[in-house]
A and B are shown apart, each in its own frame.
Chain A
Amino acid sequence: AQRVTQPEKLLSVFKGAPVELKCNYSYSGSPELFWYVQYSRQRLQLLLRHISRESIKGFTADLNKGETSFHLKKPFAQEEDSAMYYCALKSSGGTSYGKLTFGQGTILTVHP
């Protein structure tokens, strides 16, 4: 069975400080990993996916298969980064259509 763990329910940092949101997964195959974000009063939206190896809004995430982690990082947090962040896993292969396994989420608060 696949599982996603986000160990921190709440994370508070000050503006300009580095931030790291942790995500660990359990999956025997080769996973597809995503970070989704939900800003206040907005719908859930994709932030980034591991396959793209991109930086979105200054955030990056590296898939570490040895540690089964996909932590989200940003060197200098901004107040507008305050939101709920979800790590999600999709199993590869042809039977996992539309099915994401989500972590419990981390509420990030960036203080001025």
Chain B
Amino acid sequence: KAGVTQTPRYLIKTRGQQVTLSCSPISGHRSVSWYQQTPGQGLQFLFEYFSETQRNKGNFPGRFSGRQFSNSRSEMNVSTLELGDSALYLCASSLGGQNNEKLFFGSGTQLSVL
């Protein structure tokens, strides 16, 4: 069974640009969550999608958005990039909705904003 796949692995962008990251969950998983990981702030929750609907959202500005497709694949978009957006972006998938559910993480996309 293939794991959670994130593409691309690395991205370099400049301030003001926008970027789209992709996540393919484990087959059969309908929930996809996104996290930002930085040395200073650690792992912070961005949002979660289930059946193409955003069910939960963290405390990030509106420049951060996402969506989920009917095959459960998800994309995350960041517009008007700022230097502080440089981070490792992790995607996690799960069956979606059960208590104490295990999250399966991808390897992440390392975004550098210059």
Contacts and interface: CB of A to CB of B under 8 A. Distances in A.
Interface of A: 32, 43-46, 49, 51-52, 86, 90, 92, 95-105
Contacts of B94: 98
A99 B56 contact: yes
Contact of B42 (A43, A97, A105): A105
A104 B108 CA distance: 18
A90 B31 CA distance: 15
Interface residues of B, number: 29
Interface residue SS majority, chain A: loop
Nearest to B40: A104
Nearest to A86: B43
Contacts, number: 62
Contacts of A96: 56
Given A32-B99, A51-B100, A92-B99, A98 B31 contact: yes
A46 B43 contact: no
Contacts of B92: 98
Contacts of B105: 43-45
Interface in B7-64: 31-33, 35, 42-45, 48, 50, 55-56, 58
